[in-house]
Amino acid sequence: MSWFSGIAYILFAPFLGGIIAGLDRKISARLQGRIGPPLFQPFYDVGKLFQKETLVVRQSQHLYMEFFFVLMVFSGAIFFSGGDLLLVIFAFTMAGVFFALGGYKASSPYSFIGAQREVLQMMSYEPAVLLAAVGMYMVTGSFQVAKIIEYPHPLIAQLPGLFLAFFFILPIKFRKSPFDLATSHHAHQELVKGITTEFSGRTLALIEIAHWYEYVFVLGIGYLFFASNVWFGLLMTLVIFELLLVVDNATARVRWQAMLGSAWVVALVAGGLNIIYLMWMKG
């Protein structure tokens, strides 16, 4: 991994992320007995958004979403360049903060409640992500992504509890059931489109592209658990994505209290026990 990998992420992640979004729609439609849209429908949608007029309540909405976009690209670029995992998580968290701030500035009740729920979602997934980083450090002896990938054995063998905690919070980052509380791909909920309700035109297109970057980045973290073999890691990353879609189509959206409580319980019990086991093995 090097700066070349980071540049490749910046250039090609939107295309891969858009295809992931297209596969998401296509597979979900098949699971529901429908044909579904074309694979490249997400690209068509974003292209239409760039052609539409951008209407805002406050100009600062744009600024916050631009920071969200830049930090999302930055965190993924550092990750795929083999950089420090803690720096990556910090930048990733700051991206989420700016995303929530953009929702707060929209002066819409739907957007405001969506922003509140976005903050709650951040509180839900942060423990699992941080514990995963700590576990990887305890096994490999480094927070550097390049060093973690060079570890000769699959990390899943020593980090099963941390992987379970990470997989549990994946629906939050992909904005899927049962944790699609702040916004979702569908408008048939009480929040309409939640935090993105008051965004349109190029700003909404920028948000969608940032989410494509996010898909690739988050799946990249999942890949680390199986990175000892490239093809095995890619296969298991695909399996993770498929299981995520099954969970999305087989579950209903829960209340935020259930999301926060269950995510913390799984992270602290499964992840915490895994950390204790690693300490005992080293001890």
pLDDT in tens, 5-47: 999 999 999 999 999 999 999 998 898 888 889 999 999 999 9
Contact in structure between 133 and 277 (CB atoms under 8 Å) = no
Q: Provide φ and ψ at 144, rounded to 5°.
A: -75, 125
Output the pTM of the full model: 0.93
pLDDT in tens, 185-230: 655 555 567 788 888 889 989 999 999 999 999 999 999 999 989 9
CA distance 74 to 237: 22
Residue in the structure block whose two tokens are 């699609």: 180
| Range 120-141 average pLDDT | 94
Whether pLDDT at 56 is above 90: no
Prior bond of 178 cis (ω within 30°)? yes
Number of Cβ within 10 Å of residue 30's Cβ equals 13
Please indicate whether residue 55 or residue 276 has the higher confidence score (pLDDT).
276
Q: Where do the structural domains in the chain lie, given as residue ranges?
A: 3-282
Helices and strands in the chain: count of H runs, count of E runs: 11, 0
CA distance 216 to 174: 11
Q: What angle do CA 183, 184, 186 make, to 5 degrees?
A: 130
